[in-house]
Structure 1
Amino acid sequence: MNIKKVTKKANLEEKIRAFSKIIPLSICIKDENNKTILSFSDDSNETFFNYPITFNGKAVGELKISKKSLVADFVLHQINDAFVKERQIADTNDETLLLYREINLLYDLFKVISNQTKIDQRLNFFLEECVNYLQVGRASIWIIEGNTLRCTHYKGFKPVKIFKLGEGFIGQIAMSENAEMLNCPINDHRWEGSVNNKLSVVSSPLISCDGNIGVLHLCRHDGYAFRAKDLKLANVFAHKGAQEIEINKLIEKVKSEVILRTNFSRFMSPNIVELFTNEHCKVSLGGENRIVSILFSDIVNFTRLSENMKSDAIVEMLNEYFTYMTEIVFSFDGTLDKFIGDEIMAFYGAPNYNEDHAFLAARTGLLMQKKNEEIQYNRRKKGKPNFQIRIGINTGVATIGNIGAPNRLDYTAIGDVVNIASRIENNCPPGEVLIGETTYELVKNSFSIEKLDNIMVKGKTNSLKIYKVLEEY
């Protein structure tokens, strides 16, 4: 620290001259190079006493004064106070500069890293910035995997050791919440790596919202020791590194869920996919009783139709038909239960309850018939055989849930209401939509409906009332 600058800024000469008016004295202050920076004399023949000027244990100049004891103590005290104030100002400026560097560092980090789309690229750029800003020779990221720490990204040379949590310096940092620096690792019992008298290291925990996820480890081999502000900057980098890793975990989780949902949706209705992919869902055997509406649909005389068709043509026809029909089921919040040959079974009101389940089932039936007319029109234009469909709907209490074995479950509906819906569909004329009595009571104000003759079905002593849905009001 420059003693001339300090004495001038502290107005030390004015203070000493004012003091000399009370107690006459002669004084001379020299810097560490023996250059006079302040001098005045009351009597040139006076004898001078010499006092070293020190700050923080370092000689920064010399005081020559004509008075001993309290006078010299006063002057030295004034000089020391001036140094302390200047040091405080310098520290404040350093802290301000460090804060400014941290802000700019974060800005640069976000700007550079945000341009990278792949996590490996983002973390590699992140480590490059660590090396550049902190002027280190090596930088590495260690991720906690179970009870071990594994290096996943590095700049410099690749570490080969896998640490256990709590083992060595890095292993202990991973279990703490505080960064540490070692400017002489050989004297620290936790250090297990190679050492030389020029080695300095900093390790900072990577802390996410769920706790420690790893360690950012930095090394210097050039003999320059890390300082306190380097430790702060290392913490800034570690915070950003933890964010990047957490963002990557979220991205990977979303990707996995998208893939899972996509794969599930090939075999299940959206309602079931949503149920099974819900993180709070516990898949197990069993079910619950629900009031639902069951819909059955099949192709009339499918066996006879398929006898005159090649197998690939049958598959093509069914795929086209099922694609259009299931889209209609899903559009009205229906749950596709299963395909049984050419038959479709769906239900409404589970797993998502909807008090309009009967209305939605009836509307689905009408739109399925309308859509099939379009399908047949296009098939006729292409010279392909036509077919008609029939639809039966019934409403009542069913057991809804996972039915089967622990290693093979079906989310399905079982019960008498299901059997009756199937019987109604079997008795339905081609191109029509028939509903049972309970369904009729729930939708009679929403559709134009025609009462048909009662029918007898297998397993029932009494006849069933059935109705034909004509159109929606």
Structure 2
Amino acid sequence: FQATPAERVVALLLDENAEDYALSPVAIRVRDQKTSSLAGKLSVSKTITKKVITEKIAILSQDARADAQFSSAESIVSQGVRSTICAPLITETEVHGVIYADRLNPFEVFSQEDLELITAVAAQTAITVETVKAHKRLAREEIARANYSRFMPEYVVNQILQNPDSFRLGGINQKITVLFADIRGFTLLAENENPERIVELLNRYFKMMSELVFEHGGTLDKYIGDGLMAIFGAPTVSPMDATNAIKCAVAMQKNLVELNEKLRAEGYREIGVGIGLHTGIATVGYIGSDKRSEYTAIGDTVNLASRLESLAASGEILITEATAKESLESFRLVERQAIKVKNRLQPVALFEVKWN
């Protein structure tokens, strides 16, 4: 107000999720007590702001009521605005909003120098706004990255953050390989250990298993008691999905041998894990409500993988023929007795993956 004769000034920011150039006021200032009562009545012309935003130019009108370009701006007439300036909050990347200033005195108007000054102020304000937005965006991304990284490999997390619109509520049907792993004899183990040691043991176990899932390009779907479910082929698809899933299962069993050596040295009982895998079509996506959803897979493919895991003894990896055929690499397989599965006419062929 010291540098310009403006009587009312308002800074407005574009609503990021709104349409039709909707603006929200973030700061309103008036020159003196005389005009303070008019602050609450301030209505900024959408005609002016839309022109400034779309054309990315600053506007000076020394006689707003007579200006042809504002003939449809009813707020100009109704508020008795004599002269107005509107400048975009613009940076190299985008328009963030506008600064609007006006004069009500019918005998005093803005000058070209006033326009240049307010435009310069708007440019500096835009840089500040963009910096604040960038900091908030980075903070949100860090929180999102931390949350997603608990369940997905880093390259998938990066894709989600770069294109969040591609990961919304809803699902699609696609071919995936599902892996279930579960500790054998956990109930007996839990009965003979104190709760603190059991929790510490599970945390070490899940840390090892989840890291192996990520290393092999899988997505950690969920922890289920002392077991886990992982999917390969969603949200991103690769010809190596089935191969990576089998490799992950083998790595789990081999790493468990090393973990058991450490557990024995620390006085823990050894743990054994049974693993089951199946490849097929499943519904995958974010399932839940707007307030809480989980990226998961559902369907017969998931159920069959879970069934195989329940049949696998400690140290065993069982896969279906479908998974074996999808694999692009050779593994030592031993055919097992086929199993009958509900809603399937033919028995399901099984193979055990020999890893030791």
Q: Give the CA RMSD over aligned residues.
A: 4.2
> What CA distance in whole angstroms lies between the structure 1 residues aligned with 2:161 and 2:40?
37
Letter in 2 for 1:468: V
Give 1:453 deviation, angstroms. 3.3
Given the superposition, is the C-alpha separation of residues 374 and 330 from structure 1 closer, same or farther in structure 2, using an over 3 Å criterion? same
Report the Cα offset of residue 140 of structure 1: 6.6
Letter in 1 for 2:146: T
Structure 2 vs 1, CA of residues 279 and 404 (structure 1 numbering), >3 Å: closer, same or farther?
closer
Structure 1's 429 and 370: CA in aligned 2 closer, same or farther, altered over 3 A?
A: same
TM-score by length of 2: 0.71
Q: Which residue of 2 aligns with 1:151?
A: 27
Q: Deviations over 1:365-407 (max 9, x none)?
A: 1111222223222222222222121212222222333456677
- What's the CA shift for 1:364? 0.6
Residues 1:191 and 1:442: Cα distance change in structure 2 (over 3 Å): closer
| 1:463 to 1:229, Cα distance in 2 relative to 1, 3 A | closer
Helix, strand or coil at the partner of 1:420 = helix
Shift of 1:359: 0.7
Task: Work out whether 1:280 is the aligned partner of 2:165.
Answer: yes
- Of structures 1 and 2, the one with the larger relative CO (CA 8 A, separation 6+) is 2
C-alpha deviation, 1:275, in angstroms:
4.8
**Does residue 336 of structure 1 match 2:220?**
yes
Q: Select 1:357's aligned residue among 230, 241, 245.
A: 241
Match of 2:337 in 1: 454
DSSP 3-state at the match of 1:385:
coil
In structure 2, stretches of 5+ residues that fail to align are 15-21, 53-57, 64-75, 104-108
How many residue pairs were aligned?
A: 321
1:412 matched residue in structure 2: 296
Report what 2:276 is aligned to. Answer: 392
CA distance in 2, matches of 1:257, 1:154: 38
Distance 1:335 1:265 in 2: 10
SS of 1:315's equivalent in the other structure is: helix
2 CA distance for matches of 1:277 and 1:212?
A: 21
- Aligned equivalents of 1:334, 1:355: Cα separation in 2: 13
Deviations along 1:316-356, one digit per CA (max 9) or x if unpaired, are 22122112211111222212222211111111112211111
1:180-239, CA deviations, whole angstroms, 9 ceiling, x for partnerless residues?
Answer: 3879xxxx988889xxxxxxx9844234366571316599xxxxx975345324323322
C-alpha distance in 1 between matches for 2:349 and 2:308:
9
> What is the aligned partner in structure 1 of residue 18 from structure 2?
none
1:281 counterpart letter in structure 2? S
CA 1:246/1:350 → structure 2, altered by over 3 Å: closer, same or farther? same
In structure 2, C-alpha distance between the alignment counterparts of 1:403 and 1:230, rounded to whole Å: 55
Q: Is the 8 A contact 1:138 1:154 kept in 2?
A: yes
- Give the corresponding residue for 1:377: 261
Aligned counterparts, 1:52-201, within 5 A: 142-144=11-13, 149-151=25-27, 161-162=39-40, 164-166=42-44, 174=49, 177=52, 178-180=58-60
Match of 2:203 among 312, 315, 319: 319
CA contact (8 A) 1:389 1:430 kept: yes
> TM (normalized to structure 1)?
0.56
Larger Rg, first or second structure (1 or 2): 1
Fraction of identical pairs, as percent: 28
Deviation at 1:248, TM superposition (A): 2.3
What do the CA deviations read for 1:62-92 (whole angstroms, capped 9, x no partner)? xxxxxxxxxxxxxxxxxxxxxxxxxxxxxxx
Equivalents in 2 of 1:462, 1:137: separation in Å? 83
User: Distance in 2 between the 1:150 and 1:295 partners?
Assistant: 51
Letter in 2 for 1:205: A
Q: Secondary structure at the match of 1:344?
A: strand
Find the aligned partners of 2:175 and 2:192 in 1 and give their Cα distance: 42
Contact 2:5 2:110 in 1 (8 A): no
Alignment partners' CA distance in 2, 1:438 and 1:416: 13
